[in-house]
Amino acid sequence: MTKPLRTIIIEDETLARQRLEKLLIPFHEQVTVVGVANNGQEGLALIETHQPDFIFLDIQMPVMNGLEMLMKLDKQPFVVFTTAYDQYALESFEQNSIDYLLKPIQPERLAKTIQKLLDITQYQQQSPPQLDQVHKLLIELQKPKTLEVIRANVGDRIVIIKVDGIQYFKAEDKLTTVVTAEEKEYYINPSLSTLLPKLPANFIQISRSVIVNEEHVLEIRKSFNRKLTFEMKNKEKFLVGTTFLAALKERWSF
């Protein structure tokens, strides 16, 4: 019988770490967890001590992030990244023999990852990626990505909202309201400042509390005191904030 692969979990989020340990229980004949670390510095020490076959590694961590830790290793094991990054941004990892698990980790996806590692190590199909390859891929990951969908929690459901079908975002009471073209409203956690850099160019911030989709603006009204009011297709009206006036007037040559 083939010996189980030895692994170390390096993850700063307690719940995520505990979830992964629990998900690995059914695979005890294939994988043995020989260490658990809360950050990259602890992970580095455990790797040097145990020399695992592969590691589960969170990308963003305090003290020492995943990339910094990998750069300090003399011998790199296979790496399975555990991350909340969008799955489309991570496709290059899979193509480059570095696997990833998108949080929250799903049992079916974990099973595929373990089978992939078993195949690689059993038949020596390849070696762990070079550090410069890891570095390039992580840099690519950290580039701003344009959102295509927004996820909203509605009771025990997760609703997928297409960004191009959103009329506007409105911040209120520490939550952000999403209003769609069908005039449905959803509440999400990301702030406007977090959302704006990831949205397509047709989304513009017109006040501290509102981002509108230019394609869903019915009209823009100019008043005698040089203020601007946006009217959306659902008849909702928004007054442009003073600090945003100059940029908007330049955008439309008012």
- Sequence ranges of the domains in the chain: 5-141, 149-252
In this prediction, residue 169 carries a pLDDT of 97
Q: What is the assigned CATH class of domain 149-252?
A: mainly beta
In this prediction, residue 88 carries a pLDDT of 44
Say if residue 90's pLDDT is above 80.
no
Tell me: the pLDDT tens digits for 128-185? 555 566 666 666 655 566 788 999 989 888 899 999 999 999 998 888 999 999 999 9
The mean of the pLDDT values for the chain is 84
| 140: Cα within 13 Å, side-chain hemisphere | 12
Tell me: the pLDDT tens digits for 1-51? 578 999 999 999 898 999 999 999 999 999 999 999 999 999 999 999 999
- Domain 5-141 annotated CATH 3.40.50.2300: yes
Report field, pTM of the whole predicted structure over 0.85: no
